[in-house]
Structure 1
């Protein structure tokens, strides 16, 4: 399984593009050439119950994530054809415009440690890859707990900020424009004071 802070090896996925109702292929290598952030949003299966609520929630924040320089790819072990059928029939997915990745062999799901060998499905995994190809964010939930895309946006904003301010750190619940921390000997035991100044 990949570790946060390590380089992600190249992978490819066949995708369904809801915006154009077409199929294609994406690779991490191509996104890295474009200096893009990549957010992989694994979910168990099309035509299920929690999954459409998550993908609809993610669609609400897609434009904001794109403005931050990211491409979002939802991924399940379904085929691209199943993605097309699901996205065009499930009303919750009407606003989905990000690519929907097909991983029927589980190869990419295994790479990220979300593949469940007992079911052949992917757990709910969210992974943020920076433009240098490093895994900087990782979250895995079990099947029955949906995620919050608003928190994903917050984490993306923090990661984008920290990429250009590597000597700083973002505290809990940090929002864009708020005070950050600069780790140093003087800060040890004095985080309260640093945040209240």
Structure 2
């Protein structure tokens, strides 16, 4: 699975967002950072905790110029029903893409063979449509939206500050590293 630094593949899907059904394509996500947040299924257990966590930080992601696209192999109709019945999911104002035809799950290589559900995959795509960050976790392990936000900040910093890299646990405003021969073996 070598997807870092590759262009996202073409797709067309229908999403539930802000009380409406809207069509979304690969062309629509270019021009800003796009976070594709795959999860196994609506009406499950770990998934609503992750999606609510993202909803709580959605404004911070938007302030960084990022849009969130939650994706499962359910339909957009299922997303609406879940949004209307779950207090956690009812908080969501970002896109919830239906991927019942498995195009997105296959494009991002997170479809579990023979199961029809996506793994928990997180992909950060830059404004040019290039995948820059990937995280895959098993079904029973939820993700942390605050850590994803930290990684997005680090990615944006790294992309706009040539010659600098962000070390482990880097937080916005902290010291970065400037890789050089002088640093080899000294860290």
Taking structure 2 as the reference length, the TM-score comes to: 0.96
Confirm or deny: 8 A CA contact 2:5 2:131 kept in the other structure.
Answer: yes
Partner residue in 2 for 1:31: 29
| 1:194 matched residue in structure 2 | none
Q: 1:130 to 1:46 in 2, by over 3 A?
A: same
Once the two structures are superposed, the pairs formed by residues 1-197 of structure 1 within 5 Å of their partners are: 1=1, 3-17=3-17, 19=18, 21-32=19-30, 35-191=31-187
The alpha-carbon deviation at position 9 of structure 1 amounts to 2.3
CA distance in 1, matches of 2:6, 2:115: 28
Deviation at 1:166, TM superposition (A): 2.7
- Deviation by residue 1:145-187 (Cα, 9 ceiling, x = unmatched): 1110010000000011111113211000000000111111111
Structure 2 CA distance for aligned equivalents of residues 8 and 94 of structure 1 = 29
Moved over 3 A (4+): none
Aligned residues: CA RMSD: 1.1
Question: What SS does structure 2 have at the residue aligned with 1:8?
Answer: coil
Structure 1 residue ranges without an equivalent (≥5): 192-197
**Partners in 2 of 1:167 and 1:13 — Cα distance?**
38
Cα deviation 1:70-94 (Å, max 9, x = unaligned): 1100000000000000011011112
Structure 2: 5+ residue runs without aligned partners? Answer: none
Aligned length: 187
SS state of the match for residue 62, structure 2?
Answer: helix
SS of equivalent to 1:115: coil
Q: How far off its partner does 1:2 sit?
A: 5.1
Q: 1:12, CA displacement in angstroms?
A: 2.2
